[in-house]
Amino acid sequence: MNLKNASVLVVDDDTDVLTAVKMLLKTEVKDVTTEKNPENIRALFAEKKFDLMLLDMNFNSSINTGNEGIFWLKKVKEINKDIAVIMITAYGDIDLAVRSVKEGATDFIVKPWHNERLVSTITEILKKKSGGGSAAKASPDSVIGTQLLGNSDVMQEIFYKIEKIGPTDANVLILGENGTGKELVAQAIHQKSVRAKNAFVKVDVGALTESLFESELFGHKKGAFTDAREDRAGRFESANGGTLFLDEIGNITLQQQAKLLSVLQNRKIMRLGSNDLIPIDIRLVCATNLPLHELANESKFRKDLIYRINTVEITLPPLRKRKEDILMLANHFAKIYAEKYIKPVPEFDAACKDKLLQYQYPGNVRELQYCIERAVIMTEGDELKAGDIIFSPLESARAVSEEEGDMKLSNLEKNTILKVIEKHGGNISRAAKELGITRTALYRRLSKYEI
């Protein structure tokens, strides 16, 4: 369908949003109808035929389910199952917006949006609806599809998030264990952004000492300290106009956090040894292998900094949680290293595949990569057998150590519970009170430890 012939309905309780969309689309489409109250949707559909709808994710309405957008999306699909619906969402509701696509939405946009991108999204949807569209393909230099791979549902959702988050300027926090691919996700976000033609600058801030932190990030003037023999721009300046990726953000000290927060709030840096403020324009992406609940500990990490860096959050699953991707990744690495070492691309026999699938991968994708590289180097034939697959003894030892640690903690908890219950003569209420937990929680632990 031609955009000029389309009728569009916009439903949002924010008058400013309705005005902005109407102003944007009035010269692009046949007509735009706006509505603040979603309860009027049925009446609007009875009056007129719409080709596409923009629907807000959140309304201050009587429904008050916490996910009104999903509720009204289902109502719209009951009235007209074929209409294309684009959900309008805020950064914090992206997980809900992804769910809306599973519930029948065609796409979603994140506020504030880029006008050109919204128009192109609508155009593409209407083309596909009339049979004129084609499936989008990753560009040849795209990280997604060449380095960041996965057919599992969880990875497909992550790719979709990257697609939608990338064009915005939202700060992103990437969570995940070591070896899950956090840097690749950061690169993919940069590639999808309007800053893609500018620099992508990575800093492992967790490895910076107190003395190097300011110099490395903010730069210095000649003579600022003993080894400062010339003026030097910091990483913030190097990333100006592009994306700054701060890896291992969870490992920086509270003093470093305060300095970083000040720069992010003011959007200006000052080189060491200088009094001049330099404005900076960067898109910030951070990553950590710490779980979010550990970052939330204010004795270790400032809550105001978490809010500043965590406009949108992406959590990468460990490889053991996406086992359907293991063989695909193994084949991918086998091709890469066969080409690198000028060898035939090996096949995996059944026992080899089974061994790959059974392992827990404490080192995640990175461990699988090194494992396949070693196997390709050492094999003499064009088929990999179970014996060719040797997992990292370092990673295996770490996994065993962690498991033993968990067992020690479990034994400690079990013994403590037994002693407290015995102390109170089997009175569960008194025991729970002394342990600082509810009776229900204590009963769960009794069941867990078969006491």
User: What is the full DSSP assignment across 106-170?
Assistant: -EEEESSPPHHHHHHHHHHHHHHHTT--------TT-SBTTTB---SHHHHHHHHHHHHHTTS--
Report which of residues 130 and 434 the model is more confident about.
Answer: 434
pLDDT at residue 295, as a whole number:
84
450 pLDDT exceeds 80?
no
Report which of residues 108 and 180 the model is more confident about.
Answer: 180
Give the pLDDT band of residue 131 (cuts 50, 70, 90). low
Domain boundaries in the chain?
3-129, 153-315, 319-391, 403-448
Could you give the C-alpha distances from 295 to 89, 129, 173, 304, 310, in angstroms and in order? 26, 45, 11, 11, 11
pLDDT digits (tens, 9 = 90+) for 226-255: 777 888 899 999 999 999 999 999 999 999
Do the beta carbons of residue 30 and residue 41 sit within 8 Å? no
172-175 and 277-279 as β-strands: parallel, antiparallel, unpaired? unpaired
Name the CATH topology of 319-391: Helicase, Ruva Protein; domain 3 (1.10.8)
Q: Which CATH class is domain 3-129?
A: alpha beta
pLDDT at residue 187, as a whole number:
96
pLDDT digits (tens, 9 = 90+) for 201-230: 999 998 888 878 999 999 988 887 877 788
Please state the rounded mean pLDDT for residues 417-424. 85
8 pLDDT exceeds 80?
yes
pLDDT digits (tens, 9 = 90+) for 342-400: 999 999 999 999 999 999 999 999 999 999 999 999 998 889 999 999 987 654 444 44
pLDDT at residue 174, as a whole number:
97
pLDDT at residue 367, as a whole number:
94
Do the beta carbons of residue 73 and residue 87 sit within 8 Å? yes
pLDDT digits (tens, 9 = 90+) for 17-58: 999 999 999 999 999 999 999 999 999 999 999 999 999 988
Whether 153-315 and 3-129 are alike in CATH topology: the answer is yes
Give the pLDDT band of residue 141 (cuts 50, 70, 90). low
134 pLDDT exceeds 50?
no
Name the CATH topology of 153-315: Rossmann fold (3.40.50)
User: Among positive and negative, which fits the CA dihedral 268, 269, 274, 275?
Assistant: positive
pLDDT digits (tens, 9 = 90+) for 267-323: 999 999 999 999 999 999 999 999 888 888 888 899 999 989 988 899 999 999 999
431 pLDDT exceeds 50?
yes
Rounded distance, CA 244 to CA 199, Å?
8
Q: Mean pLDDT score of the chain, rounded to an integer?
A: 87
β-partners of residue 286 are 173, 246
Containing H/E element for 203? strand 200-204
pLDDT at residue 427, as a whole number:
84
Report which of residues 148 and 102 the model is more confident about.
Answer: 148
pLDDT digits (tens, 9 = 90+) for 58-97: 886 655 555 788 999 999 999 998 899 999 988 767 778 8
403-448 — its CATH code?
1.10.10.60
Q: How many residues does the chain have?
A: 451
Could you give the C-alpha distances from 247 to 49, 101, 201, 230, 370, in angstroms and in order? 50, 31, 11, 27, 22
pLDDT at residue 63, as a whole number:
57
